[in-house]
Structure 1
Amino acid sequence: MTATQGRTAVSLQIPSIPCPFPSEINPHVEETERESFAWLCASGMIPDEETVERYRRARFGDLAARTYPRVDREMLRLVTDWCMWLFAFDDGFCESVRHGRRPGKLVRELPELLRVLDDLTPPEHFRSPYARTLLEVRNRVAAHALPDQLDRWCAATRDYLYAQVWEAGNREADVVPTVEDYLFMRRRTGAMPPVVTLIDIAGRFHLTPEHWMHPQVRELTQLCYDLVVWDNDIFSYAKEQRHDRARHNLINVLVAHRGRSEEEALEEVLAMHRRAVDRMVELDAAVRAWAPREVIEFVQGLEHWVSGHIAYALASSRYTQP
């Protein structure tokens, strides 16, 4: 189905989104926000003063501080820079007029980024500011990560990049993805694996491969992915609809493929949210019955992402302003 066929024009009133997990904020938020914003401005990834001002108002450092509220100052700066990179790449590269509807162009840009993740190319060979800054972030992650942790983060970032090609192809063809495809790919397009794989690195502990792959931990991790991206779709829907970018939004996908009204689609997403939260609470209790400290800290990190994203989105100009 095309995006035009699936679009409607009703204005939605967003209700409160239930979340039982505590909301915290890192005490180093102000200084890391300033430093990371200066880093971003010097990176070459944001093209003009209008974008600079929009990013200043959005205060992306608040998102990092709310989703990693207990990491130390050095690690908060690392995760803040990474969040800044992801927002800049998404806005300037994936959603831009130049690249967002041209998967071929995006594909041709991937080699430099993938060579960064594979650590194959000297930094002076990179033309793209995205590749140069990704290399800097990767080197900083590598300085604190064990080999399996670095591999997890690199693999998650590769998946994110490939998922952007899928989105660009849908934009080029003006296609609204099916519900099944969207739910599967949204975890990746929403960049959740690349940020969740930093939880243990930034927390300075090690989630072993065995614990990472434990069935209960995997389910909790995927529930976290889903909750954050579904909630993001709720918060961003009105803005995306105004700017004709709602094809990759769960509300619009349900309208297009299941014949829901916008209000019905919103209620369905909220019901999905409630079921996922209930399951996270249930699994949290089950994990605490057997898990060592590192697993419990990781699960708390997942819960911080769910609550921190909601707190950030309710206040951020990225979602509250046109």
Structure 2
Amino acid sequence: MPAEVREREEVRALTDMTAVLLAWDNDIYSYAAEIDKHVEEINLVTSLAHHWSLDSHEAITQAVNMRNQVMRCYEQVRAKYPATGDEALERYLTGLDKLIRGHLDWALERTRRYSSEQVELTALTLTEKLPSRAADFAQPVELPTLRWWWNLL
């Protein structure tokens, strides 16, 4: 893909959102197993708990909500570019879509890497319905390095 296409604001945003979604999903999925195995790694959940003085349930809820905010932004920005007329760009954007979904399938259904016998996180289920707080997901994540993504909506 030519640099001028790759560096377009919406392409960079979708690429960055994909990276954040994969990283945050991994942090959310691995949290229970890390607690169970007494792994003291810093991830999104432990960072939120520390920074905002949250208990583990509040921290995991906040992490899932932030993840959902980014996912909603991704879907809305992505919907603006369904057919670009550029075959390479369309292939790239479709690849991002599939990467997000593939990671969900792999982490939730195909591996026992994140399983925990001690901690159950019922929030980590695939569903076709948005939670009742879905309107909250339209709000930007209040992190300065990410907030610009919502300017593309």
What's the TM-score once normalised by structure 2's chain length?
Answer: 0.69
How far, CA to CA, are the matches of 1:311 and 1:260 in structure 2? 29
Shift of 1:301: 0.8
Task: Please name the residue that 1:306 is paired with.
Answer: 100
Deviations 1:228-260 (A, max 9, x none): 111111111111123332432111111111111
Alignment pair present for 1:247 and 2:19: no
Matches within 5 A, 1:106-255: 207-255=1-49
Structure 2: segments with no counterpart, 5+ residues: 118-153
Task: Please name the residue that 1:75 is paired with.
Answer: none
Percentage of identical aligned residues: 28
How far, CA to CA, are the matches of 1:211 and 1:284 in structure 2? 15
Alignment pair present for 1:282 and 2:81: no
Residues 1:292 and 1:225: Cα distance change in structure 2 (over 3 Å) = same
Q: Which has the larger radius of gyration?
A: 1
What's the TM-score once normalised by structure 1's chain length?
Answer: 0.34
Deviations 1:173-216 (A, max 9, x none): xxxxxxxxxxxxxxxxxxxxxxxxxxxxxxxxxx2211111100
Shift of 1:288: 2.9
Q: Partner letter of residue 318 of structure 1?
A: R
SS at match of 2:113: helix
Q: Partner letter of residue 235 of structure 1?
A: Y
Work out whether residues 233 and 250 of structure 1, in 8 Å CA contact, stay in contact via their aligned partners in 2: yes
Structure 1: segments with no counterpart, 5+ residues: 1-206
How far, CA to CA, are the matches of 1:311 and 1:234 in structure 2? 14
Q: Partner letter of residue 287 of structure 1?
A: Y
How far, CA to CA, are the matches of 1:229 and 1:294 in structure 2? 25
By relative contact order (CA 8 Å, sep 6+), the higher-ranking structure is: 2
Task: Please name the residue that 1:273 is paired with.
Answer: 67
If each structure's helix is expressed as a fraction of its own residues, which one has the higher value?
1
Alignment pair present for 1:294 and 2:100: no
Residues 1:253 and 1:295: Cα distance change in structure 2 (over 3 Å) = same
SS at match of 1:287: coil
Task: Please name the residue that 2:52 is paired with.
Answer: 258
How far, CA to CA, are the matches of 1:308 and 1:272 in structure 2? 20
Task: Please name the residue that 1:318 is paired with.
Answer: 113
How far, CA to CA, are the matches of 1:291 and 1:267 in structure 2? 40
How far, CA to CA, are the matches of 2:4 and 2:100 in structure 1? 24
How far, CA to CA, are the matches of 1:213 and 1:291 in structure 2? 17
Q: Partner letter of residue 304 of structure 1?
A: K
Work out whether residues 251 and 265 of structure 1, in 8 Å CA contact, stay in contact via their aligned partners in 2: yes
Work out whether residues 255 and 262 of structure 1, in 8 Å CA contact, stay in contact via their aligned partners in 2: yes
Count of aligned residue pairs for this structure pair:
116
Supply the RMSD in Å over aligned alpha carbons: 1.7
Work out whether residues 27 and 43 of structure 2, in 8 Å CA contact, stay in contact via their aligned partners in 1: yes
How far, CA to CA, are the matches of 1:272 and 1:281 in structure 2? 14
Shift of 1:289: 5.5
Q: Partner letter of residue 317 of structure 1?
A: R
Q: Partner letter of residue 70 of structure 2?
A: A
Work out whether residues 237 and 246 of structure 1, in 8 Å CA contact, stay in contact via their aligned partners in 2: no
